[in-house]
């Protein structure tokens, strides 16, 4: 039995943070019903490149979910949603603060439908505060939190290659908040409103750098902190073939073992010279003497915190990731192909996540409504009002 089997989640979110959070819940067995606005649904469906009818990104984030096309701009759609919410466990949304209230679906209305319901709101800046109503994207939240300012070379910040605030700052706190609220509900019977601010989630990633800065009484400096360019024993080096390798030998025992393995034991005592900078020039020369793949073989032979920097699709062919089942393929008949994706990293040993394809727009609408007790006449009435999509 999957750990979240029997849990019903109504997902009003779109694009990345909310759908990733509900993907985790779906992979753990929750019944996630994606509520999409007809006629087009989640904008991610049409984001290029397409994997057929829908975007590869949409497929990656929406496997194991069902889709109901319901127009919440119409009173009939709102009434239908409140009826669906009454027996549900969780609602996830990512509108700006106040939008759900104006739709007639705010926390007060949802709580009236079911005091046991957990509402999770994922926003850029949270439900209150001076920035609550601002528009934003991942880069803005990272900028405000100081994450962007710490990332890159001293001369200028560098955009991260992945959406840090959306995922680490939004989706994962949402999962944690939902599960925490459900655990408390099991004891009290009461639901909760989980307030996720992606900016504050990104700020949480600054816990260690800020703690170190406060302890020394000086602010963080981009490219100079111990773990962001300041230490020669924790960084990225160019190899003989123009590729890159990562060295993470922070602890003296690992650096000493590395120096011994490359035949330069005299470098080990110099790890903290220059205020912790270490023998950078010597390490640059050492790494430039071998190709990246030669360093990969070296890393396999020596326990010294060295790893090749994989690029492009290379992680897909890594033997360790493959052995761990880090990638999945989901048969998707409506696209006429299997869709590749990244497995949810939360797993229970000995158990496998389901592999149902991402849904077509509104594919499960009638089934979901019938499960909630809607009659054929009521379904016809919703269609006639334009509230129920195809």
Confidence of residue 264 (pLDDT cuts 50, 70, 90): very high
Structure token digits, residue 194? 């989980």
What are the angstrom distances between the C-alpha of 58 and each of 17, 82, 209? 12, 26, 35
- Phi, psi (deg, nearest 5) at residue 103: -80, -10
Q: What is the enclosing helix (H) or strand (E) of 203?
A: helix 198-204
Plot region of 96 (φ>0 → left; ψ -120 to 50 → alpha; else → beta)? beta
- Is the pLDDT score of 275 beyond 90? no
Fold of 8-204+324-384: Rossmann fold (3.40.50)
123 contacts 197 by C-beta, under 8 angstroms = yes
- Is the pLDDT score of 197 beyond 90? yes
Fold of 228-238+244-308: formyl-coa transferase, domain 3 (3.30.1540)
Report the 10 Å Cβ neighbour count for 33.
Answer: 27
Question: Which residues contact residue 148 at a Cβ distance below 8 angstroms, ignoring those fewer than 6 apart?
Answer: 139, 142, 157, 159, 160
Average pLDDT value for the chain: 96
Catalytic residue list contains 137: yes
Q: What pLDDT does 10 receive? A: 98
Q: Which of 11, 138, 166, 195 is catalytic?
A: 166
Q: What is the DSSP string of 272-332?
A: TTTTTT--HHHHHHHHTTS-HHHHHHHHHHS-SSEEE---TTGGGG-HHHHHTT-EEEEEE
Confidence of residue 390 (pLDDT cuts 50, 70, 90): confident
Q: Find the mean pLDDT for residues 338-350.
A: 94
Q: What pLDDT does 276 receive? A: 84
Confidence of residue 1 (pLDDT cuts 50, 70, 90): confident
- Is the pLDDT score of 55 beyond 90? yes
129 contacts 111 by C-beta, under 8 angstroms = no
- Is the pLDDT score of 126 beyond 90? yes
Residues forming a β-bridge with 157: 152
- Is the pLDDT score of 21 beyond 90? yes
Q: Which of 137, 302, 318, 364 is catalytic?
A: 137
Lowest model confidence (mean pLDDT) among 24-38, 115-129, 216-230? 216-230
DSSP label of 167:
I
Q: Find the mean pLDDT for residues 93-111.
A: 97
Q: Give residue-wise pLDDT tens across range 129-170.
A: 999 999 999 999 999 999 999 999 999 999 999 999 999 999
What does the domain layout of the chain look like in residue ranges? 8-204+324-384, 228-238+244-308
Query: How far apart, in whole angstroms, are the C-alpha atoms of residue 156 and residue 205?
Result: 20
- Is the pLDDT score of 103 beyond 90? yes
Q: Find the mean pLDDT for residues 37-56.
A: 95
Q: Strand, helix or coil at 118?
A: strand
Q: What is the DSSP string of 370-382?
A: HHTT--HHHHHHH
Residue % of the chain over a pLDDT of 70: 100
327 contacts 343 by C-beta, under 8 angstroms = yes
72 contacts 41 by C-beta, under 8 angstroms = no
Catalytic residue list contains 193: no
305 contacts 254 by C-beta, under 8 angstroms = yes
Confidence of residue 201 (pLDDT cuts 50, 70, 90): very high
Q: What pLDDT does 4 receive? A: 97
Q: What pLDDT does 111 receive? A: 97
């Amino acid at each position: 039995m999957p750990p979240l089997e029997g849990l019903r989640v109504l997902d009003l979110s779109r694009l990345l943070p909310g759908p990733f959070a509900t993907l985790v819940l779906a992979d753990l067995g929750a019944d996630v019903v994606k509520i999409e606005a007809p006629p087009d649904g989640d904008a991610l469906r049409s984001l290029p490149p397409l994997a057929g009818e829908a975007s590869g990104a949409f497929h990656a984030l929406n496997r194991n979910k069902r889709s109901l096309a319901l127009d919440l701009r119409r009173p009939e759609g709102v009434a239908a949603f409140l009826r669906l919410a009454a027996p549900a466990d969780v609602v996830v949304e990512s509108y700006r603060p106040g939008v759900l209230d104006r739709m007639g679906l705010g926390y007060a209305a949802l709580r009236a439908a079911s005091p046991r319901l957990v509402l999770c709101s994922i926003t850029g800046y949270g439900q209150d505060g001076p920035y609550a109503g601002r528009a934003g994207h991942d880069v803005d939240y990272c900028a405000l939190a100081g994450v962007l300012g710490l990332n890159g070379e001293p001369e200028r910040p560098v955009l991260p290659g992945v959406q840090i605030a959306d995922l680490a700052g939004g989706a994962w706190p949402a999962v944690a908040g939902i599960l925490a609220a459900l655990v408390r509900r099991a004891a009290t019977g009461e639901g909760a409103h989980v307030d996720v601010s992606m900016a504050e989630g990104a700020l949480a990633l600054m816990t260690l750098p800020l703690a170190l800065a406060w302890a020394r009484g000086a602010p963080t400096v981009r490219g100079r902190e111990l773990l962001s360019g300041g230490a020669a024993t924790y960084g990225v080096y160019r190899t003989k073939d123009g590729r890159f390798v990562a060295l993470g030998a922070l602890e003296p025992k690992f650096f000493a073992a590395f120096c011994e393995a490359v035949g330069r034991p005299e470098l080990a005592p110099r790890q903290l010279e220059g205020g912790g900078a270490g023998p950078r020039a010597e390490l640059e020369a050492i790494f430039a003497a071998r190709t990246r793949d030669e360093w990969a073989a070296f890393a396999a032979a020596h326990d010294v915190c060295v790893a090749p920097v994989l690029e492009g699709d290379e992680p897909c062919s890594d033997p360790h990731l493959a052995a761990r089942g880090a990638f999945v393929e989901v048969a998707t008949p409506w696209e006429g192909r299997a869709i590749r994706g990244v497995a949810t990293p939360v797993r229970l040993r000995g158990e496998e996540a389901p592999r149902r394809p991402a849904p077509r727009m509104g594919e499960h609408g009638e089934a979901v409504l019938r499960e909630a007790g809607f009659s054929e006449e009521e379904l016809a009435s919703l269609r006639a009002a334009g509230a129920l999509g195809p």
